[in-house]
Structure 1
C-alpha cells in the first residue's frame, strides 16, 4: 500500500475516536505503521496500524489491557484511548488499529551508533529501576479473562519452533557457525532447564532496545509493546544491554542497570551472560523472513556475528 493510501486509512481510523484532529503525519514505519495525530487543541496521540497477521485480536487486546494497567500504575508508557464505541481496538478496512497517548522525548540511541547521552550510568540505573517497576506492577496486576500473550519460555527461546524462528537453521550460516549454534542450543536447553525453577518469570516488555526507550527531561519512558510476553525477567535486562556491548564503558553501564533494578526488586543476575546470548540468537531467527528488505543481508551478517561471538564466549565459560 502506498503512503497516501496508508494516510487515508489513518484519517478514516482517527474518525473512530473522540478527537478533533487537525493534522496526521506518518511517524514510524516499522513492524507497525505509527501515525502522529495532532488535535485542534494541540494534543498529540499515536495511532497504530498493527501489522497484519502478527498478533491475534486477543493478543492485541491483552497488550492494550496491560499497557493501560501499567499507565494507571504510574509507569511512563503510552496509555490506550477508547474509541467512540468504547473499544481499545478497532477494525478499519481489514486493518487492526489502536490509539495511544503520545510520549514526548528522544530515544536513548540508535542501533549501530555510539551512545550520545549525558549521565550515562545514571540513565542506565534509571532504566533498571523502570524495568523493575514494570515487573512489580505486572506481578501485582490481575489480568482480565482471556488475557493471552506469547511465551518467551524454554520452548519460545530454544524449542523446535522458537517464537522468532529456528536460528540454527539460518540459510546463510557457514557449517562451522551452524555447529556452534547447535552446540550452544543444546547446552542452553540443558542449563536453562535446570535453572528454570529459580529464575523470575512473568510479564516482560521484551523489546527495551535503544529506540524503544525515550528520555524526557531525565524521565525514562518505554514504548512499543508489540512483543510484550510472558518470559524470564533476565530477558528484559539482556535486551536492554545487548546492543550497548560495544560501548567503551559497557561494564559500568551493565552494573548501573543491574544496580538500579536491584534497588527496587530482587534478581539473580548470575545467568545474565546466558540471556545475552539467548537474546542475540533470537535476532538470527528474526531476520530470516526479512532478508529481502533493504539492509536485510547486512543486518543478518551482524546478527550472526554477534550470536556466534556470544555463543562461543558462553560455551567457553561453562
Structure 2
C-alpha cells in the first residue's frame, strides 16, 4: 500500500475522533502503522492502525483501558482518546484503529551512542512507578498476553516464535538454546508469585520518551501479565554488548529499588536470565519478519547464543561453588 493510500485511509479513520485540520503524517510502519494527526478541536493524536493477526479488538481495548487507568492516576504515558461515541477503538475502514494522546518528546536513544547511568536510574524509577500504579489502579479483567513461563520455555509455541528454529543456527547452537530454555524453565518455576504482575514487556529505548526532564513510556502493545523483572531486562537488552552494561544494570536496579518498586532486591540476581530470555525471544521474533540471509537474522541469533552461553556458565559456576 502506498503512502498516499495510507494517508487517505488515515483521513477516513480519523473521522471517528474528529475532523483532521491538515493531512495526517505517516510516522511509523512497524508492528502498527502510526500517524500524527491534528484535529480541528486542537487535539493532536497518534492514530494507530493495528496489525492484523497480532492483537484482537478485545485485547487492544484492554491495552487502552490499562493505559487510561495509568494516565488518570498520573503515570507518564499517553492518554487514550475515545471516539466521538465514547469507544476506545473503531473499525470503520476495516482495520482496528485506535488513538492516543500525542506526546512531545524524543526517544532516549536519539543523539546518543549509549545511555548513561543517571538516565538508567530514572528509567528504573519509571518502571517501579509502572508496576506500583498498575497494581493499584489497573482493571482486573484485562485480556492481555501472558508473559509467564509459557511465553519463553514451556511447550513448543513461545509467544514470539520457536527461537531454536532460527535458520542461521548450527546444530550445536540449537542444542545450546534448548539447554538454556530448559534450565530457565526450572528457575522460572521457583519464582514467587509476587514477582508477577502487569508489565510493559517492550521497554526498548524507542519506547521511552524524554521531555522537559521527565521520562514517558509509550507503546503498550505487547504488555500483559508477566515477570516484573522482564521489564528491566527489556530496558537493558539494547545495551547488552556495551562494556558499561554492569554499570547500567546497577543503576537501573538502584532506580527501581529507590522508587520502592515491588520487587525485592534479592530478585535482581535473576536479571541476567531475563536479559537472556529476551534475546531468545528476539531470535524467534525475527524469523517471520526478515529473509534468512538478512544480517539481522544472524545478529539476533549471535546475541542469543552469547547470552545463553554466559548464563549457563554462570549457573554452572554457582552450582559448583554452592
Partner residue in 2 for 1:126: 122
Partner residue in 1 for 2:308: 311
Contact 1:128 1:258 in 2 (8 A): yes
Contact 2:70 2:138 in 1 (8 A): no
Partner residue in 2 for 1:169: 165
SS at match of 1:91: coil
SS at match of 1:92: coil
Deviation digits for residues 48-107 of structure 1 (CA, Å, limit 9, x no counterpart): 010011111110010000010111111111111111111010003210000110011111
Partner residue in 2 for 1:182: 178
Q: Kindly report which structure 2 residues correspond to 1:108-127, keeping only aligned pairs within 5 A, or say none.
A: 108-109=108-109, 114-115=113-114, 120-127=116-123
1:203 corresponds to 2:198: yes
1:52 corresponds to 2:59: no
SS at match of 2:79: coil
Q: Distance in 1 between matches of 2:100 and 2:295?
A: 33
Contact 2:152 2:181 in 1 (8 A): no
Q: CA RMSD in A?
A: 1.9
Contact 1:129 1:261 in 2 (8 A): yes
SS at match of 1:164: coil
Partner residue in 1 for 2:283: 284
Using the size of structure 1 for normalisation, the TM-score is 0.92
SS at match of 1:261: helix
Q: Return the offset for 1:21.
A: 2.7
Q: Distance in 2 between matches of 1:18 and 1:44?
A: 11
Q: Return the offset for 1:224.
A: 0.9
Q: Distance in 1 between matches of 2:212 and 2:120?
A: 15
1:135 corresponds to 2:134: no
Tell me which moved more, 176-185 or 240-249.
Answer: 240-249
1:274 corresponds to 2:245: no
Equivalent of 2:213 in 209, 218, 224: 218
Using the size of structure 2 for normalisation, the TM-score is 0.91
Q: Distance in 1 between matches of 2:130 and 2:19?
A: 29
Where does the alignment leave 5 or more consecutive residues of structure 1 unmatched? none
Label 1:287 to 1:110 Cα distance change in 2 as closer, same or farther (>3 A): farther
Deviation digits for residues 192-230 of structure 1 (CA, Å, limit 9, x no counterpart): 22x222661011000010111111122111111110111
Q: Kindly report which structure 2 residues correspond to 1:1-318, keeping only aligned pairs within 5 A, or say none.
A: 1-40=1-40, 43-109=43-109, 114-115=113-114, 120-143=116-139, 145=141, 147-160=142-155, 161-193=157-189, 195-197=190-192, 200-263=195-258, 264-267=260-263, 268-292=267-291, 297-318=294-315
Q: Distance in 1 between matches of 2:291 and 2:244?
A: 35
Tell me which moved more, 59-68 or 42-51.
Answer: 42-51
SS at match of 1:220: strand
Q: Distance in 2 between matches of 1:87 and 1:274?
A: 40
Q: Distance in 1 between matches of 2:41 and 2:303?
A: 47
Instruction: Number of aligned residue pairs: give it.
Output: 310
Q: Distance in 2 between matches of 1:102 and 1:236?
A: 23
Contact 1:114 1:247 in 2 (8 A): no
Q: Distance in 2 between matches of 1:218 and 1:96?
A: 34
Q: Distance in 2 between matches of 1:198 and 1:131?
A: 18
